[in-house]
């Protein structure tokens, strides 16, 4: 019985760690952006102006120059993408990895990205 309980505890701990439940989380407001990473908002300039993550660069995936602007970035750099829902960021990630970028993360929506990074949403 004791062995069964130990095994169950180990399984629950492993599942919790896989789900991110067992990991320490950053304090609220603490930045979780890796040093040197670039946060990219792939929404339109109007959406960006209405509210974006502090320090994020706006490169609109729907703009004609998206591929050219992305192409000027270091393919070995680390990039964190977000949009309104995560959909456009997913498309941007696919395009970037197809261009040879090796460290691209889709953070999802702006709200999820703010939570994941600890960055504030600012306007202007």
Catalytic-role residue among 59, 80, 83, 114: 83
**24 in catalytic set:** no
| CA-to-CA separations, 1 to 6, 7, 9, in angstroms, rounded | 9, 10, 12
Looking at residue 119, what DSSP letter applies?
P
The CA-atom distances, in angstroms, between 25 and each of 33, 38, 90 are: 13, 21, 25
Beta bridge partners of 87: none
DSSP strand pairing (52-53 vs 121-122) = antiparallel
Would you name the residues annotated as active-site residues?
A: 83
């Amino acid at each position: 019985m004791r062995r069964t309980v130990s095994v169950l505890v180990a399984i629950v701990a492993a599942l919790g760690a896989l789900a991110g439940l067992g990991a320490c989380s950053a304090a609220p407001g603490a930045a979780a952006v890796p040093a040197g990473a670039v946060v990219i908002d792939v929404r339109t300039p109007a959406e960006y102006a209405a509210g974006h993550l502090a320090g994020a660069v706006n490169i609109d995936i729907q703009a004609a120059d998206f591929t050219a602007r992305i192409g000027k970035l270091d393919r070995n750099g680390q990039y964190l993408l977000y949009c309104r829902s995560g959909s456009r960021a997913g498309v941007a990630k696919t395009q970037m990895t197809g261009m040879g970028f090796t460290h691209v993360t889709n953070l999802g929506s702006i709200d999820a990205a703010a939570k994941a990074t600890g960055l504030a949403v600012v306007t202007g």
